[in-house]
Amino acid sequence: MTFRTRYTGLIDKYRDRLPVHDDTRIISLGEGNTPLIRLNNIPGDLGKDVDIYVKYEGLNPTGSFKDRGMTMAVTKAVEEGSKAIICASTGNTSAAAAAYAARAGITAFVLIPDGKIALGKLAQAMIHGAVVIQIKGNFDAGMELVKQVGKEAPVTIVNSINPFRLQGQKTAAFEILEELGAAPDYHCLPVGNAGNISAHWMGYCEYHEHGIVNSRPIMVGYQAAGSAPFMRGEMVDNPETVATAIRIGHPQSWDKAWNVQKESSGWFDECTDEEILAAQKMLTEREGIFCEPASATSLAGAMRDIKSGKIPEGSKVVCTLTGHGLKDPDTAIKQCEGSNKMLKVDATLEEVKKAILDNM
Ligand code: F0G
């Protein structure tokens, strides 16, 4: 029997394609290498002959794709001698920053919109020992403050305006290409700041330019309807959505993302909160995959475009599921309120047996 070598994170794996040196101290939690799962039931439910894969980024160490960028950003911050990092966040970036700072032995400061981040993410930032600064404002306000304070205090900004973040995140595209052996026809992502869609495109283009693959996907970005500046064609001042992770009205990678749309011949669209929650539930009930609401936006949009034929039959589609469902237990439980599958019975054999037989 031969044993595989131990997986030690994406910087180690893609060292030749990332800005690190041989002696760089790598701050890693074994991120990346996430499963690309082929959906078994949903294509049939849609009545369409399409191949849908989900890239389950919720299985990264802190439960979201942010770990890919954070391993790079914190590795470089430490290399440059930084003792503290800072970010504004709708929750996942703060969780990743807190964990990687703990790993590196430096301080993380996180600015989060008061009362508007999912419970799991808040718990993560707190338990890893980050300094949690709750602001009476939304993500966009926090981002502006972080940019200003970054000029006046000795802290490294680890939001996706830090170019090392996108370098790390581009590796998700490498993994998809390696597993499929070619580019998918369409790659669908939820869009907030639009860093991740830009990073994926960088990754796809890099393998294409180096002749490792000979095609690139059409990139499709879906936003929540109440927070859809790319659909409006202008910034949105008071974004609202149940998908708090993408409750962003002033995307930081605005120009980059429009370039992705043009270069890949892709498009942006929006999904209502109802569509997002329905896609989240469908994925859990029909495929056994639990992602957070923002993540389900990619599938919600893709399903609509597959049904309408905008994404034609015969296509191979990848949807990124950016974060784990456990990040936001409140929304999950609310989705199931009134469910006839939540029973309360006496602790007797009779009652338990009845509950089973009545629900077979
Ligand atoms: N999905 C999830 C679960 C996210 O947390 C985010 C962004 C996105 C999608 C959008 O990615 O910004 O690169 O377009 N979350 C950031 C945060 C803003 O602070 O955690 P994007």
Which among 54, 193, 321, 324 is the best mutation to test ligand 1's pocket, defined by most ligand atoms within 8 Å of the CB? 193
Question: Do the beta carbons of residue 133 and residue 112 sit within 8 Å?
Answer: yes
Which among 59, 85, 146, 246 is the best mutation to test ligand 1's pocket, defined by most ligand atoms within 8 Å of the CB? 246
In angstroms, the CA 44 to CA 101 distance is: 44
The two tokens of residue 107 are 């301080």
**How many A from CA of 53 to the centre of ligand 1?**
20
* pLDDT at 285 (0 to 100): 97
Choice between 338 and 111, residue whose per-residue pLDDT is larger? 111
**How many A from CA of 128 to the centre of ligand 1?**
20
Residue 90 alpha carbon, nearest atom of ligand 1 = 19
4 has a pLDDT exceeding 90: no
Res. 3 pLDDT band, cuts 50 70 90: confident
Instruction: Give the pairing of strands 156-157 and 84-88.
Output: parallel
Residues with CB under 6 A from ligand 1: 64, 66, 89-93, 160, 190-196, 245-246, 292, 294-295, 322-323
Q: Which of 28-31's residues contact partners 24+ apart within 8 Å by CB, and which partners?
A: 28/71, 28/75, 28/103, 29/61, 29/62, 29/67, 29/71, 29/99, 29/100, 29/103, 30/61, 31/60, 31/61, 31/67, 31/68, 31/70, 31/71
2 has a pLDDT exceeding 80: no
Which residues does 222 contact at the CB level (< 8 Å), separation at least 6?
188, 189, 190, 191, 268, 269, 270, 271, 297, 298, 300, 301, 302
Tell me the mean pLDDT in the region 39-57. 98
Bridge partners for 180 per DSSP: none
107 has a pLDDT exceeding 80: yes
Which among 55, 66, 92, 139 is the best mutation to test ligand 1's pocket, defined by most ligand atoms within 8 Å of the CB? 92
- Please provide the average confidence, as pLDDT, over all residues in the chain: 97
Could you please report the per-residue DSSP string of 128-188?
TT-EEEEESS-HHHHHHHHHHHHHHSS-EE-STTSHHHHHHHTHHHHHHHHHHSS--SEEE
Tell me the mean pLDDT in the region 154-166. 98
Residue 257 alpha carbon, nearest atom of ligand 1 = 14
pTM of the complete model: 0.97
Instruction: Give the pairing of strands 156-157 and 36-38.
Output: unpaired
**How many A from CA of 192 to the centre of ligand 1?**
6
Question: Do the beta carbons of residue 271 and residue 226 sit within 8 Å?
Answer: no
Tell me the mean pLDDT in the region 208-222. 98
Residue 159 alpha carbon, nearest atom of ligand 1 = 19
Please name the amino acid found at residue 227.
Answer: S
241 has a pLDDT exceeding 80: yes
* pLDDT at 328 (0 to 100): 98
* pLDDT at 32 (0 to 100): 98
